[in-house]
Amino acid sequence: MSFSALGLRAELLLTVGEQGYTQPTPIQAQAIPAVLAGRDLMGGAQTGTGKTAGFTLPLLHKLAEQPVGAHGRTPVRALILVPTRELAAQVQASVYTYGKHLPKIRSLSVYGGVGFHPQVQALKRGIDILVATPGRLLDHLQQRTVDLSKVQVLVLDEADRMLDMGFLPDIRKVLAHLPKQRQNLLFSATFSDEIKRLADGFMHEPLLIEVARRNAAAELIEQRVCPVDRERKKDLLAHLITSGDWKQVLVFTRTKHGANNLAEKLVKSGIRADAIHGNKSQPARTRALTEFKAGKIRVLVATDIAARGLDIDELPHVVNFELPHVANDYVHRIGRTGRAGSTGEAVSLVCVDELGLLRDIERLIKREIKKEIVPGFEIDPRIKAEPIVQGKRGGSQQRRPSNAPHKAGNRPGNRGQNAPRQPAGRAGSKSSRDSGRRAFSY
């Protein structure tokens, strides 16, 4: 199928061509006509499937078809809610890029960690498409610096992640500010009962579209596990980067502290690296990402939440310096590579403490990941597993609104910081408890 068969305006087809997209991805082929037809939609799709263009292109088309009056401020006509600051900035960048040949459509992203006042000024000038994280949007609603009463289309992007991050109460509050008559689009990697309950509450006969999960489509990602002793992970990482001459690698740690530590250690070994996590100011995070994309930094070390939704084209290497506590995060992490047709490699450095976590992951992706011991980094069988110590939970750094209950313990995104995510009930997960009693064997 070609893009031209989807009914999009010529200006949008022009941009699509400029982006080098030759044909719509499966989610785009299904979502674009449905959105154009005005239907509510539930899209089961993760990042990397092309879902952003899947909702942005038809949204732009619809707004361009009905320009607002020449006088007066443009009311917000479309609202896109996303879980993280980075995703907000990226989605808005996509809106801007895809819409650049259209008659002027203004878009803005608002999220926490950056000044409130400039956002107020931008909102005053009039915005057609607002991309926002829930907390900062609520701040604007409370201060009456944004008016959502004319919203025609609502998009909830990465809804599962928003719920994981405890944003459900905020989402409900935002929904209360929207007009009843509107189109609703919800994208989520999974459709848990909680998501379905949320959707039941505000969507009208949504069309359900599901595309292959990332882990089903992950053939383009070569995955391997390098067994290694706990204390030798940093050396092994430096070795892999230099011996493989890796130019651009995204490395995941479980904690902010671990991310900083590792980045410092790499810099000391002469490898340009930086860390990106919620304790860093937004400008510092943006700068690190920009330098990474431009090739000025070779290694970007990130926590899961900070990395969520990062769109870095054709990222060749992803390293799990530590396995995530939640197996599904592994799928999200490796989804940073091998995106939309390019190949990539995901390497996990796994020590004896993490065997239970590895088993959880292999069970989830329904396959065994190949194991390769790197010469010189053989396992010392005398080293026994230790329980995995959770990172500090950023307590004093958290600023939680007094009236906003939340689920996962921390409130990341636009108000709090990225604390290591520790979903309810998983604190002493069976895997990490088990691993204390096992020796290293496959």
Contact positions vs ligand AMP (CB under 6 A)? 21, 24-25, 28, 47-53, 311, 313, 339-340
- Complex with ligand AMP: residue 27 or 236, whichever CB lies closer: 27
Calculate the alpha carbon distances from 290 to 92, 94, 400 in Å: 16, 16, 29
Q: Are 422 and 324 in contact (CB under 8 A)?
A: no
- Complex with ligand AMP: residue 52 or 223, whichever CB lies closer: 52
Taking the complex as a whole, the smallest distance from the CB of residue 312 to ligand AMP amounts, in Å, to 8
Burial class (CB in 10 A: 0-12, 13-18, 19+), 261: middle
Taking the complex as a whole, the smallest distance from the CB of residue 209 to ligand AMP amounts, in Å, to 14
Taking the complex as a whole, the smallest distance from the CB of residue 146 to ligand AMP amounts, in Å, to 25
Taking the complex as a whole, the smallest distance from the CB of residue 250 to ligand AMP amounts, in Å, to 14
Taking the complex as a whole, the smallest distance from the CB of residue 253 to ligand AMP amounts, in Å, to 23
Vertex 335 angle, CA 25 and 356, to 5°: 140
Taking the complex as a whole, the smallest distance from the CB of residue 205 to ligand AMP amounts, in Å, to 25
Q: Are 149 and 75 in contact (CB under 8 A)?
A: yes
- Complex with ligand AMP: residue 51 or 298, whichever CB lies closer: 51
Helical (H) or strand (E) element with 400: none
d(CA 30, CA 210): 9
What is the per-residue burial (b if ≥16 Cβ within 10 Å, else e) of 27-61? bbbbbbbbbbeebbbbbbbbbbbbbbbbbbbbbbb
- Complex with ligand AMP: residue 114 or 340, whichever CB lies closer: 340
- Complex with ligand AMP: residue 21 or 246, whichever CB lies closer: 21
Helical (H) or strand (E) element with 209: strand 207-210
- Complex with ligand AMP: residue 21 or 252, whichever CB lies closer: 21
- Complex with ligand AMP: residue 52 or 431, whichever CB lies closer: 52
Vertex 98 angle, CA 136 and 175, to 5°: 30
Calculate the alpha carbon distances from 155 to 55, 210, 270 in Å: 8, 16, 44
Burial class (CB in 10 A: 0-12, 13-18, 19+), 223: buried
- Complex with ligand AMP: residue 189 or 388, whichever CB lies closer: 189
Taking the complex as a whole, the smallest distance from the CB of residue 92 to ligand AMP amounts, in Å, to 13
- Complex with ligand AMP: residue 65 or 313, whichever CB lies closer: 313
Q: For the chain, how long is the longest CA-to-CA vector?
A: 76
d(CA 351, CA 435): 10
Taking the complex as a whole, the smallest distance from the CB of residue 206 to ligand AMP amounts, in Å, to 20
d(CA 75, CA 363): 48
Taking the complex as a whole, the smallest distance from the CB of residue 211 to ligand AMP amounts, in Å, to 10
